[in-house]
Chain A
Amino acid sequence: AQKITQTQPGMFVQEKEAVTLDCTYDTSDPSYGLFWYKQPSSGEMIFLIYQGSYDQQNATEGRYSLNFQKARKSANLVISASQLGDSAMYFCAMRSLLTGGTSYGKLTFGQGTILTVHP
């Protein structure tokens, strides 16, 4: 079974500063993918960044970077230079990449973190 834990129900950050959203995971699968999604108040799920379990380097996408520490089973999201438009709920998710496994293709989500960016 897979489990994603986000321990920060809410986070606050000043505009233009960096913020780290925590995510830890648990899985017995040897191959998996980790995702971060942003969900603004409109409800749409916006894909931000992906990290494969065998990727050697941490993923980066513009102002988003994923601090992947495999031994600690953590996949924290770092948002640099926060903007007011970053205020939203953020979800960490994982999927098994083990073809044919019962969890293949299914995304398991964490509880989410509400990020508020102050001007």
Chain B
Amino acid sequence: GAVVSQHPSRVICKSGTSVKIECRSLDFQATTMFWYRQFPKKSLMLMATSNEGSKATYEQGVEKDKFLINHASLTLSTLTVTSAHPEDSSFYICSARVIDRAYEQYFGPGTRLTVT
């Protein structure tokens, strides 16, 4: 299957700082990438849909000014958690959809964010 990478895999930051998480599709192009958040032993909650060359679409209740998403190319989307607080600590997972293949969607390995 296709490969999606995320960087960093783990990050610890201080409250009030910003953190950027990268999601890359390594061997395919993805016009659409998705960002999820997951709490321990819970389900994945979709935060936003990232579209290449246009603004991201955020799910209800997700603050777009706090979770900045940029999809600058067909292989890269970034999520920036601005002014992070301890309640932002979570596991963030991205996924990328293969162009023209509705059922093919691949996930990155996730990024564990801890805000102290």
Contacts and interface: CB of A to CB of B under 8 A. Distances in A.
Interface of A: 33, 35, 37, 42-45, 47, 50, 52, 89, 91, 95, 97, 105-112, 114
Interface string B85-116: 00000010101010000110111011010000
Contacts of A105: 32, 34, 49, 97, 102
A28 B108 CA distance: 30
A47 B106 contact: yes
B102 A97 contact: yes
Contact of A43 (B32, B46, B91, B103): B91
Interface string B69-88: 00000000000000000000
Interface residues of B, number: 21
Given A45-B95, A97-B102, 14 more contacts: A35-B105, A43-B110, A91-B43, A95-B102, A95-B103, A97-B103, A105-B32, A105-B34, A105-B97, A107-B105, A108-B46, A109-B44, A110-B43, A111-B42
13 contacts: A35-B105, A43-B112, A45-B93, A47-B1, A47-B106, A91-B43, A95-B102, A97-B103, A106-B34, A106-B46, A107-B95, A110-B43, A114-B41
Query: For chain A, what secondary structure do more than half of its interface residues adopt (helix, strand, loop), or is it mixed?
Result: strand
B52 to A, nearest CB: 13
Interface of B: 1, 32, 34, 41-44, 46, 49, 91, 93, 95, 97, 102-103, 105-107, 109-110, 112
Contacts of B42: 111-112
